[in-house]
Chain A
Amino acid sequence: DIQMTQSPSSVSASVGDRVTITCRASQGISGWLAWYQQKPGKAPKLLIYAASSLQSGVPSRFSGRGSGTDFTLSISSLQPEDFATYYCQVANSFPITFGQGTRLEIK
């Protein structure tokens, strides 16, 4: 199984800040990676697929980069609605695995 390790596990930031979350795969996955946002009591929401493609309707302040084993999700200017938990997900092999999550909190 491919293990996905996210860092940090939690981060505090202020509205307007730029934040970057990292996801590392235990083996190369090319660009087959997705990022999700989850708010309490809600289902996850797809933000980024294929490592860097923005899902329809997602604000352009979200961006993804990476290939192989190292990936990042960046939020360029944090908005109040961005405070949530973020997960990465490997997309090209079974079992599908997720990172453990990064909780983004208001400073």
Chain B
Amino acid sequence: QVQLVQSGAEVKKPGASVKVSCKASGYTFTSYYIHWVRQAPGQGLEWMGIINPSGDTTTYAQKFQGRVTMTRDTSTSTVYMELSSLRSEDTAVYYCARDRISLTSRPNYFDYWGQGTLVTVSS
């Protein structure tokens, strides 16, 4: 069965970076785009960007341009999301999510999600 398993919770100081992993299993890793979505405490969902695990191409939301980097390791079927220059407003649960349709960048419906990783930014 399809699974996305994320790394554990992190506590970081303002100005630091965090790298969250998302390990995929149960399907052909390079056939489906992966997105990152975050959710601040008590708030809604916010899309951060997308990575094509096959070609390593990415598109980021403008809000995160320059601070976010999404990469993948095909040997371990793992996608990574690194966010730098952390501030308190980045405290959130970060989710990876798989596109429902393979090998297409649009439309984007998220059929499988990781369990979420809580990142807390506090001095």
Closest-by-CB residue of A relative to B6 is A43
Closest-by-CB residue of A relative to B35 is A96
Is A87 touching B44 in the complex (CB atoms < 8 A)?
Answer: yes
B114 within 8 A of A: yes
A34 within 8 A of B: yes
Is A32 touching B45 in the complex (CB atoms < 8 A)?
Answer: no
Is B45 touching A92 in the complex (CB atoms < 8 A)?
Answer: no
Minimum Cβ distance to chain B for residue A101 (Å): 5
Binds A, one of B7-15, B75-83, B100-108: B100-108
Q: Of the candidates A43, A55, A89, which one forms a contact with B114 in the assembled complex, judged by CB atoms under 8 Å apart?
A: A43
Task: Give complex CA distance A100, B100 in Å.
Answer: 22
B61 within 8 A of A: yes
Chain B count of residues within 8 A CB distance of the other chain: 23
| Most B Cβ at <10 Å: residue of A45, A92, A96 | A96
Within 8 A of A (CB), among B71-115: 95, 97, 100, 106-111, 113-115
Bits for A6-43, please: 1 = Cβ < 8 Å to B, else 0: 00000000000000000000000000101010000001
CB-CB under 8 A from A55, the residues of chain B are 100, 111
A73 within 8 A of B: no
Chain A count of residues within 8 A CB distance of the other chain: 23
Closest-by-CB residue of A relative to B48 is A95
Is A98 touching B110 in the complex (CB atoms < 8 A)?
Answer: no
Task: Give complex CA distance A50, B100 in Å.
Answer: 11
CB-CB under 8 A from A45, the residues of chain B are 113
Bits for A63-107, please: 1 = Cβ < 8 Å to B, else 0: 000000000000000000000000101011111111111000000
Could you write out 19 A-B pairs with CB less than 8 Å apart? A34-B110, A36-B110, A44-B97, A46-B100, A46-B110, A49-B100, A49-B109, A50-B107, A55-B100, A55-B111, A87-B45, A89-B45, A91-B109, A92-B106, A94-B50, A94-B61, A95-B62, A96-B47, A98-B47
